[in-house]
């Protein structure tokens, strides 16, 4: 079954429907909703967010926890402010379908003052969860059984929930994250729950690497001793404090550490949601990052959703898809140019452009099995037009 996220009238988004594959790229101008989509996908994949609104067919009981609980959850994710009167969000995967929307509830009454009947439309935020697999239905039943008996514990989430579905790891690379490796509760107590959890998880992950770890896209090595993060260039002896490193290092290192942690320490499949990883990165490093992401996520049965502004990121992804296609008949020659571990099947890739009117456009050419070149060239094309206009002025003067 396809994994589908459908969003209508939510913040800057008017109507966007995305098919989520193993590797997903979303591009668009500022304030078109890239971050909103990333957060909503995460929100709809957390069991603690979606378990309300379950109708038990056996007992014919509606287990919706109510308006206040949905609002509270959306506020924690920084999403509630985007709700409109006609907002609608639907997420469907192989295990369940979850929706929440702002529905109209008709109400009215007779006014004795002016002898008229008034209709009133009241909006209520409502959610529903519909199990698709028996495994997920049993999980919901077990959750409510434990909750009603006052026996719900962390063990249930760590063992039972984790066996059925996994929470995505949302990587907030746009924040710089200068001090993510040694944060305390006092410092972050005023942050939203998801962001605070991110800082706590990153601190735990960074401390999990006892030896030297290669940060391949940057060609550096990383180590953490008692919460202190240090780096050095490959082939050198001396480490320096990460705090003094370039901002691009501080943005990219957390991405690699998270992926290495789930691949090599936890040895667990994961969905990684990464916001604008190209920030502060030279184009060559952006290419190396894309090679790394494909090799260490998509080709190891993980999933990625990437938001980006960068044409270099899209071009790099195109090269990896093209290598996959050409490599079917010319493996040795193509492997010399791009290692086969970095190739990716176009069938596993989705790419969308968010438009200023609040809709989206699929930018994968399924016949060519590439992202459409004109979408990549929009930025450089505009710059070239400016250059040509200036050149024409110079030629006229001569």
Q: DSSP for 310-355?
A: -HHHHHHHHHHHHHHHHHTT-HHHHHHHS-GGG---GGGEEEEEE-
Look at strands 303-308 and 23-28 and give their pairing: parallel
Cβ atoms within 10 Å, residue 309: 16
Mean pLDDT computed over 10-35: 95
Q: What is the band of 382 on the pLDDT scale with cuts at 50, 70, 90?
A: low
* Pairwise pLDDT comparison (128 vs 105), residue with the higher score: 128
Contact 318, 27 (CB under 8 A): no
Q: Are 258 and 165 in contact (CB under 8 A)?
A: no
Torsion over CA of 83, 279, 242 and 300, rounded to 10 degrees?
80
Lowest model confidence (mean pLDDT) among 68-77, 79-88, 239-248, 382-391: 382-391
Write the DSSP symbol of residue 359.
B
Distances in whole angstroms, Cα of residue 238 to Cα of each of 209, 214, 220, 242, 314: 18, 15, 12, 13, 36
Q: Rounded mean pLDDT of the chain?
A: 85
pTM of the model: 0.86
Find the radius of gyration of the CA atoms of the chain: 24
CA nearest to 28, candidates 264, 360, 338, 370: 360
At residue 116, the pLDDT reads: 54
């Amino acid at each position: 079954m396809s994994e589908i996220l459908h969003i209508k009238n939510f913040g800057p988004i008017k109507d966007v429907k995305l098919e989520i594959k193993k590797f997903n790229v979303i591009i668009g101008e500022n304030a078109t909703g890239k971050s909103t989509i990333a957060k909503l996908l995460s929100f709809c994949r957390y069991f603690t967010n979606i378990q309300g609104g379950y109708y038990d067919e056996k007992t014919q009981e509606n287990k919706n926890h109510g308006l206040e609980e949905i609002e509270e959850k959306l506020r924690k994710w920084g999403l509630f402010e985007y709700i409109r009167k006609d907002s609608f969000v639907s997420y469907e995967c192989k295990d369940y379908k979850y929706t929440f929307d702002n529905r109209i509830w008709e109400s009215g009454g007779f006014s004795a003052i002016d002898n008229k009947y008034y209709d009133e439309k009241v909006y209520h935020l409502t959610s529903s969860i519909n199990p698709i697999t028996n495994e997920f239905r049993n999980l919901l039943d077990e959750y409510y059984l434990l909750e009603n008996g006052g026996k719900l514990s962390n063990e249930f989430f760590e063992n039972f929930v984790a066996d059925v579905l996994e929470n995505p790891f949302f990587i907030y690379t746009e924040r710089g994250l200068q001090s993510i490796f040694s944060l305390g509760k006092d410092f972050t107590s005023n942050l939203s729950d998801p962001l605070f959890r991110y800082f706590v998880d990153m601190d735990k992950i960074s401390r999990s690497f006892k030896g030297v770890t290669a940060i391949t896209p940057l060609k550096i090595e990383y180590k953490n001793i008692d919460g202190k993060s240090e780096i050095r260039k490959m082939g050198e002896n001396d480490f320096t404090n990460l705090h003094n490193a370039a901002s691009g290092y501080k943005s990219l290192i957390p991405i690699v550490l998270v992926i290495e942690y789930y691949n090599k320490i936890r040895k667990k499949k994961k969905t990684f949601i990464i916001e604008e990883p190209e920030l502060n990165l030279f184009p060559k490093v952006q290419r190396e990052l894309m090679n790394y992401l494909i090799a260490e996520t998509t080709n190891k049965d993980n999933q990625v959703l990437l938001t980006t502004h960068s044409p270099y990121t899209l071009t790099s992804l195109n090269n990896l898809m093209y290598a996959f296609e050409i490599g079917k008949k010319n493996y040795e020659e193509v492997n010399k140019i791009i290692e086969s571990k970095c190739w990716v099947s176009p069938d596993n890739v989705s790419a969308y452009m968010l438009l200023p009117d609040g809709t989206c456009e699929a930018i994968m050419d399924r016949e060519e099995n590439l992202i459409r070149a004109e979408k990549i060239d929009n930025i450089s094309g505009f710059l070239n037009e400016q250059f040509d206009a200036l050149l024409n002025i110079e030629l006229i003067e001569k």
